Amino acid sequence: MSVFDVDLFVIGAGSGGVRAARMAAGLGVRVAIAENRYLGGTCVNVGCVPKKLFVYASHFREDFEAAKGFGWSVAELQFDWSCLLAQKNQEIHRLQGVYQGLLNDSGVQVIEGQARLVDAHTVAIGERQVHCERILIATGGWPWIPDIPGKEFVVTSNEMFTLDKLPKRMLIVGGGYIAVEFAGIMHGLGVQTTLCYRGTKLLRGFDEDVRDFVAQEIQKKGIDIRLNAQINRIEKIDNVLLAHSDQDQLIEVDLVLYATGRKPNTASLGLESLGVALGAGGAITVNEHYQTNIPSIYALGDVTDRLNLTPVATAEAMALVNQLYTDRATTVDYDNIPTAVFSQPNVGTVGLTEDEARQRYPDIDIYKSVFRPMKHTLSGLDEKTLMKIVVNRSSDKVLGIHMVGPEAAEIIQGMAVAMRAGATKAVFDSTIGIHPTAAEEFVTMRKPVHP
């Protein structure tokens, strides 16, 4: 008879934690999972899902404007923020129920409350203690705000999904994908939006052409971008917020969103007292098997702060369970993982940026196309699309594909399959395009723009 209450105790019921718990339980493993906020984690509740719903909502104003060029007369526009919130809440509640059902059907024991590690084989939730053979930490990340005067007056991306009302004027501080996405959302919903970033370009880590193109396109839509600007303090006078920058600028708004990054959610877990090795920002250090320096404790997903994407966390969960409880060990290949920014227009990318490719290979060809999508020949809108392919000349292998434009994420998903299959530029060139589509541009770019 086992000396443990459960074989696997999972802390955090987000995408990675739930996937690991369900898979393990399906193999006959005795599993418990603890969650102190909401089933589904960040993605379902305050991340991917509600954000994408808000992106859809915010794009209708531009769609209505475009419709005039196609003969449609649209009456005076009205937007009801409370209706959007109610609809969003209903969908999130449905998804939480789905997660609950999946865990229940798998036989996973769900425990509500803050879990804390007592020792290498014991987890405490309140007064209750559970003895476990293995512990998996999948607590994700949490928004981070720099310590500046007036930080108590700002909100993070978490609170953006429950605002009582829309502001008339808004400042977004940050230059990453969350900042850029919310700039598009709020502008599309009619909010006068200013985006302030301390760096020289938005979207650090993305291809340089993508970074320049996105900034150009969202500025054309009317978003006020202020680069090389650091907010030093925020003060509140009546119901108005005054943001003071290091350029002696005063930005007067009704709401300030700080999208200045996320940090691993490791506070209150008792990791330091147990001696679990932590890296920068509190990230849990793990080896290639997601194991910490304490053999019975594992971690995956955003809490390890390596590649913070929901599908990566679920892939890591499957790899870990296979490794621990089956004879068919699998690994996660972190190369050529596609990603998207649901800015307006969208960004989709997979593989190496041009700069990364040039650092690794001596002979690089770049294929690039900037064009006006067919829809906008009649819509009257000035939005452009960018497509770019990075190729290793000597092998003809496609190293990176990047797109800024409508449905970029949907298109790049298929391109990621081709890249994982090792497609060469010759394969792209020999593929028949679907006409008329924007996607066919990827198989009709014949001449490199520069070596």
Catalytic residues: 435
Cβ(146)–Cβ(156) below 8 Å: no
In contact, 397 and 411? CB cutoff 8 Å: no
Distance of CA 279 to the CA centre of its chain: 21
Cα angle 293, 299, 304; round to 5: 95
3-state DSSP assignment of residue 172: strand
Q: Please list the residues that pair with 173 across neighbouring strands.
A: 196, 258
Q: Are strands 192-196 and 224-226 parallel, antiparallel or unpaired?
A: parallel
Residues 129 and 6: beta-carbon distance below 8 Å:
no
- Any residues with CB less than 8 A from the CB of 340 and at least 6 apart, and which? 346, 347, 348, 349, 408, 409, 412
Identify any residues that bridge with 116 across adjacent strands, giving them in sequence order. Answer: 124
> How far is Cα 366 from Cα 14, in angstroms, rounded to an integer?
39
DSSP classification of residue 108:
P
> Where do we find the tokens 């990827």?
442
Please give the radius of gyration of the chain, using alpha carbons only, rounded to the nearest integer.
24
Q: What angle do CA 89, 112, 282 make, to 5 degrees?
A: 90
CB contact burial 211-242 (16+ within 10 A = b; e otherwise): bebbbebbeebebebbeebebeebeeeeeebb
**Do 134 and 29 contact (CB within 8 A), yes or no?**
no
